[in-house]
Structures are given as C-alpha cells and as structure tokens.
Amino acid sequence: MINYPEDLKSISCPVQKTAELIGSKWSILIIRELNQNKFLRFNELSRSLKPISSRTLSLKLKELVEYEIIKKKIVSTSPPHSEYSLTQKGKDLAIVLGAMADWSYKWHNNENKL
C-alpha cells in the first residue's frame, strides 16, 4: 500500500481524499496534458499550460510525483532533461477526469471534449 503523506492519512472519505490528491486546477490540467501525450518535458508542459508560473508547475509536478500519479524520468542527453508521464495510477485517474469532462459536456453544452 502506498504511504501517503501524513495529511492524507487522517482522511477517511474517498471522495475527499481524491480531491486532496488532485488538489488544484493545475494538477488536473497537468494530468490532462500527460494523458494526451506519452510524455512531456517541463518546458512543453509550461507552454501548454500558460499562464502557469514555473514555480507553480514545479511544485505541482513534485506533488504529483510524490503521490505516484506521474513519474519523472531524467534523460541523460546533452544537455540532460526531465520527461514526465502518467503512472498506471495516473492513467486510472485520467479516466475519472474524462468522466468529469463528459458530465460537463452533457450539462454545460461544451463544444469541445477534453
């Protein structure tokens, strides 16, 4: 079983725990971007998520890695870079986000699905 940070251990409601895990709109949008792509570099994520700040993106990526929703791979090229992708846990969560998009499409008449 995954050893979640202390602040999540006390939450017994699964909906609340999931909301805490994905947290902000940025976390959800990072998961969306990685679900649409096999992997992305930091700068690619930053461009696709404008106007996110580098600091916010960095913090959210660290958090999602800690929760094992995404994984970070350091590629030793010249210069080295990091690539981010979804774990199986993240892919399963992306299905939930897809259901949220379907709900929004149904009830808010969005023209574009996620």
Q: Cα(91)–Cα(95) distance, rounded to whole angstroms?
A: 7
Question: Domains in the chain, start-ordered, CATH in brackets?
Answer: 24-104 (1.10.10.10)
The amino acid that residue 36 corresponds to is Q
Q: What is the DSSP string of 2-66?
A: ----HHHHT---HHHHHHHHH-SHHHHHHHHHHHHSS-EEHHHHHHHTTT--HHHHHHHHHHHHH
Whole-model pTM over 0.75: yes
Give the tens place of pLDDT for each residue, 49-104: 999 999 999 999 999 999 899 999 999 988 899 999 999 999 999 999 999 889 88
Retrieve residue 4's tokens: 């979640």
Instruction: Say which residues have a Cβ less than 8 Å from residue 44's Cβ, sequence separation at least 6.
Output: 37
